[in-house]
Amino acid sequence: MNRSPLAPATFPELPVITGVELRIARAQYKTWDRCDLTFVTLAPGTAVAGVLTQSKCPSPEVEWCRRALVLGQARALVVNAGNSNAFTGSRGRDAVEAIAARTAGHLGCQPSDVFVASTGVIGVPLPIDKAEAGLDAAFAADPCGWEDATNTIGTTDTFPKAATTSAMIGDTRVTLVGIIKGSGMIAPDMATMLGFIFTDAAVGAEFLQAALRTANASTFSCITVDSDTSTSDTVLGFATGAAGNAPIGDEDDAGADAFVAALTDLCRQLAQLVVRDGEGATKFIEIAVSGAESDRSAHVVAMSIANSPLVKTAIAGGDANWGRVVMAVGKAGEPADRDTLSIRFGSIQVAQGGMVVEGYDEAPVAAHLQGQDVEIGVDLGLGEGRATVWTCDLTHGYISINADYRS
């Protein structure tokens, strides 16, 4: 598969997170000649938090993680690629239980300390024999680096996606690293795709959960590739506490704001990488809506624009058709007034007060649309609400990838 033209030039240099050890193996869930199982061990005492799909048809892995998150502690993560194990009934549940039990037996922990995620084709039960053989191979494997682990969790991804950031908690620097996979079936209704965040910060599970929810709201929940929410969307955060900072237990503790800011920055980096690898994408699009009656209303309008096939195909073709943006605003079902609406492409105002601006010249707008990074700004002129979301264009490549996905 060709690498996305929007991909970063290189994989980032990522620091080691003390208390996190990565291994990969080949379970052969598909016929591809690559590793497809990632096994992560976590130091005793690691706190965990997560945001999970709101799909009404979630995978057994999502249901398992949802129950385990209540306990707030983790010792391991197992990620399978090539088979989502979703819509597989009791056989799918049995597979998850078998993975957790075998991993727990290896580590000497409780099955509830093991978190499991899967991605790939829906409707095919995960073979327990392959899962167990893959786990045994992973247990015996040498530790690997972030890039190998990131490549292993991918499916239709064209490049490995990872990022890092840090924060000062008192006199102690804490480090965060995140890896993520996702390219299609991207329209999060909480988190999106499979994303895993690791930090050496000492933070309580409840605070970590609140911080991840806050970060998610302005990052993972603000991206879309194709308007489709996965059955398996999972973002998990693990905090080993190895940095030795004064533990953060709630938002009033010293360093809490700095940690949330760093976590949000990391999640934004990861979310935007997913959009840059949108299936068939050639352009990265930022849509900023202001002047709405509320932030929630602005978000709905922004996502209506971002999910519009007409808007996305116009941008793919470099067509400065701002009328399609008007259409997407109007269909969103949120308060809007034609006569207070303003639209810009990049820094160029194209419409204002219910009509095209006087002396409008399409040439600079068309030039902006020729670039890989496209900005659309919409001011509803009604209030103080605002939101920013990210999407990509819609090309023939998206159809080709998904028409051939199971072949």
- Residue list for the binding site for substrate: 155, 181, 192, 279, 402, 407
Q: Which of 152, 165, 192, 240 is catalytic?
A: 192
> How many CB atoms are located within 10 Å of the residue 208 CB?
24
Does the active-site annotation cover 192?
yes
Q: Tell me the C-alpha distance between 366 and 372, whole Å.
A: 12
Phi, psi of 387, deg, nearest 5: -160, 150
Sign of the four-CA dihedral 277, 280, 284, 288 = negative
- Pick from 193, 217, 178: which is nearest to 277 by CA? 193
CB atoms within 10 A of CB 73: 18
Residues sharing a CB contact under 8 Å with residue 368, sequence separation 6 or more, in sequence order: 345, 346, 348, 374, 375
- At a CB cut-off of 8 Å and minimum separation 6, what does 291 contact? 298, 340, 342, 379, 380, 381, 382, 383, 384, 385, 386
Q: What phi and psi, each to the nearest 5 degrees, are found at residue 92?
A: -65, -40
The pairing of strands 373-379 and 284-292 is parallel
Active site positions, annotated: 192
